[in-house]
Structures are given as structure tokens and as C-alpha cells.
């Protein structure tokens, strides 16, 4: 890839990226200086061509290896639908306005805890994003909330806090304008539990205790598959998980055990499946139902795990009949 960049007060600002790979991992440094800023519309097709030409005239071009070149050397712009995944530098502090505007095929975004300034409309039009990965600072702070509030879709967030791994799901939400004719006003109605989950932050830090308290809303309003993924990942990645919350989640899994194990089997998460089976301790009847579903899938490892679980119940006693 080739980068169009310039010096700023804190290091380097990248204004445009050129290349062929839809997975873009921006460099940590250029010219020995940290990359701390992304310019406005950097990955958008809607960048002002006049502004881009000014950047080209005043900035520099270089390759991934730091080799200075005269221009983009015929490489296409990495923008719009070409962008599928973005891995931002760990020392990045600022993202310019509309930086990822209409990157419709962007599915994954990764960033660090130093990012504090996200420009207006940065995530506008990124309707296919599925996963956000964030490494917070030592206090657990990040700009995650700023990112999530611009993304109403269901999202999985993988969080690294001082080496501890957490995985959190944020269900979708949508807003609807409803006319109140007698009052002659339009009322804004918000649907889905996602808005509550996105508000479970204290300043720049995810309030995990509050997040876990919101579970009844997800259980009431969201599809079973989304709720199960949320619950499974809180159990499997128990960052700051209290005993009370864990008991609540495990009880839900016991009530939906067959479907929960099925999700893990379909995703081939075999180690996770063993962990969950140990947590929920299904009885023989429930285990037999799980095994039937595994056998229908034709997945031998899935079947083997359920066979082991069933064996733990001992041999099934035959009914004795007396004449």
C-alpha cells in the first residue's frame, strides 16, 4: 500500500490510502513518528477532489516499508466499497470528520485506547459493520461509546483491558418518528434494547455492572439467537462478571441449553462447548436432545463432546417388569 501523509503537531496525519487489499492495517509510524491522526474523508468516495489535490501537493507519499515515492504509482484509492476491514494504529488520537463515510462493505474495525477525538459522521453509512475490537487504556477508557452511538446495527465488541479479554454484544436499535396529531408534534420512539446498552458507559469507560443489569431488556425485546450470543460470550469472556450476573446468565442458558450448544456447534467452538456444558450441567434427557441435533449436523467432534457428556450420566437403566 501507499500512504499520502503529512506532519502534524503530534506526529503523522494520513490523508489517503492507495492499494488493492480490502483489509487495511495502517502503520504505527512513518518517518519514525507515530501516526496520530486520520484526515477528513480518508476512506470515503465523497472526498472533495480539490481538497485531496491540495493534500497531494503539500504532503508526501510512501510505501508500507517507509520508502518515499513520487505518487500513488497507479494504485487505486482504498475508499468506499473497497474497504472491508480497518486496523488503526495504537497511538492514533484523532479521526477526521466523515473518515469512513459510506464504507458500505466495512465489517471490522480495530482501534486503541489513545483514540479520543472521532469527527462528526465518521461512521455514517457503515451499515454492514459486525465487529469492533478495542484495546482500552490502563484505566479502561476508550472512545468506544462514540463509535457505537453512530452504529445502530447489532455489534460484537472484543475488548482488551490490561490483557484481560472481554466480549460484549450490543443489540440493534432504530428510531421512528410518530405523529402526535392532537399535539401537532412528531414524537421520537426508539425500539430495541440496543440504545440502553449503548448508554451503559460512565464517561469513556464501559460500566460493566450496568451492562449486565440490562439483560432483562435484551431478553424481552431481542431474538433468542442474539440473546444467546450475548450470554454465551459473557460467560466465556467474564470480564468483571459478578456472581449475581453469572448466575442469571447460567440460568438462561439452562433454559435454552439445546439452542445454546447448537450455536457453538455450528460455529465449531468445541472448547467453548465443553465449558458451557460444564456450567449448565444438562440432565440425561436434555443431553440426549442435544446429541440428536449434533448427529443431524454430521459433525463428528460435536457428536463426540455430547457422547462424553452423556456418558457422564452413566448407563441408562432398563425398566424391569414383574409378572
Q: Cell for 1?
A: 500500500
Q: Is residue 153 part of a domain?
A: no
Domain that holds residue 102: 1-129
Q: Provide the strand spans (E) within 48-154.
A: 60-63, 68-69, 85-87, 94-95, 108-112, 117-118, 131-135
Cα distance between residue 42 and residue 69, in whole Å: 19
What is the pLDDT tens value at each position of the chain, 323 positions in all? 999 999 999 999 999 999 999 999 999 999 999 999 999 999 999 999 999 999 999 999 999 888 889 888 889 999 999 999 999 999 999 999 999 999 999 999 999 999 999 999 999 999 999 999 999 999 999 999 999 999 999 999 999 999 999 999 999 987 655 566 665 666 555 658 999 999 999 989 999 999 999 999 999 999 999 999 999 999 999 999 999 999 999 999 999 999 999 999 999 999 999 999 999 999 999 999 999 999 999 999 999 999 999 998 866 655 555 55
Q: Is residue 91 part of a domain?
A: yes
Q: For residue 31, give the CATH number of its domain.
A: 3.80.10.10
Q: Half-sphere exposure (CA, 13 Å, Cβ side) for 70?
A: 2
Q: Is residue 200 part of a domain?
A: no
Q: Is residue 101 part of a domain?
A: yes
CA dihedral 123, 12, 16, 46 (to 10 degrees): 40
Q: Is residue 260 part of a domain?
A: no
For the chain, what is the domain count?
Answer: 1
Q: Is residue 47 part of a domain?
A: yes
CA dihedral 206, 208, 211, 215 (to 10 degrees): 160
Q: Is residue 7 part of a domain?
A: yes
E strand or H helix that includes residue 197: helix 194-198
User: By the 8 A CB rule, do 128 and 106 touch?
Assistant: yes
Q: Is residue 50 part of a domain?
A: yes
Q: Say what the pTM is.
A: 0.90
Amino acid at each position: 500500500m501507499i500512504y499520502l501523509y503529512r506532519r502534524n503537531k503530534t506526529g503523522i496525519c494520513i490523508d489517503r490510502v492507495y492499494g488493492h487489499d480490502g483489509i487495511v492495517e495502517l502503520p504505527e509510524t512513518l518517518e519514525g513518528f507515530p501516526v496520530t491522526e486520520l484526515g477528513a474523508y480518508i476512506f470515503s468516495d465523497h472526498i472533495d477532489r480539490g481538497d485531496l489535490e491540495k493534500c497531494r501537493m503539500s504532503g508526501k507519499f510512501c510505501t508500507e516499508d517507509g520508502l518515499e515515492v513520487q505518487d500513488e504509482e497507479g494504485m487505486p484509492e482504498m475508499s468506499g466499497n473497497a474497504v472491508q476491514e480497518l486496523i488503526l494504529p495504537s497511538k492514533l488520537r484523532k479521526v477526521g470528520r466523515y473518515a469512513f463515510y459510506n464504507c458500505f462493505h466495512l465489517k471490522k474495525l480495530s482501534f486503541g485506547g489513545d483514540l479520543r477525538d472521532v469527527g462528526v459522521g465518521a461512521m455514517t453509512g457503515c451499515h454492514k459493520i459486525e465487529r469492533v475490537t478495542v484495546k482500552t487504556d490502563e484505566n479502561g477508557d476508550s472512545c468506544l461509546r462514540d463509535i457505537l452511538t453512530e452504529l445502530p446495527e447489532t455489534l460484537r465488541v472484543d475488548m482488551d483491558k490490561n490483557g484481560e479479554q472481554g466480549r460484549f454484544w450490543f443489540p440493534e436499535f432504530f428510531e421512528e418518528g410518530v405523529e402526535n396529531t392532537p399535539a401537532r408534534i412528531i414524537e421520537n420512539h426508539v425500539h430495541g434494547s440496543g440504545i440502553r446498552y449503548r448508554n451503559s458507559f460512565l464517561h469513556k469507560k464501559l460500566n460493566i455492572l450496568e451492562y449486565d443489569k440490562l439483560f432483562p431488556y435484551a431478553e424481552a425485546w431481542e431474538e433468542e439467537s442474539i440473546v444467546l450470543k450475548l450470554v454465551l460470550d459473557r460467560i466465556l469472556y467474564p470480564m468483571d462478571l459478578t456472581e449475581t450476573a453469572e448466575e442469571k446468565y447460567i440460568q438462561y442458558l439452562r433454559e435454552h441449553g439445546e439452542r445454546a450448544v447448537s450455536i457453538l456447534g455450528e460455529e465449531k467452538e468445541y472448547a467453548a462447548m465443553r465449558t458451557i456444558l460444564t456450567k449448565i450441567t444438562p440432565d440425561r434427557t436434555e443431553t440426549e436432545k442435544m446429541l440428536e441435533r449434533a448427529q443431524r449436523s454430521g459433525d463428528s467432534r460435536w457428536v463426540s463432546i455430547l457422547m462424553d457428556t452423556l456418558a457422564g450420566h452413566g448407563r441408562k437403566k432398563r425398566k424391569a417388569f414383574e409378572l
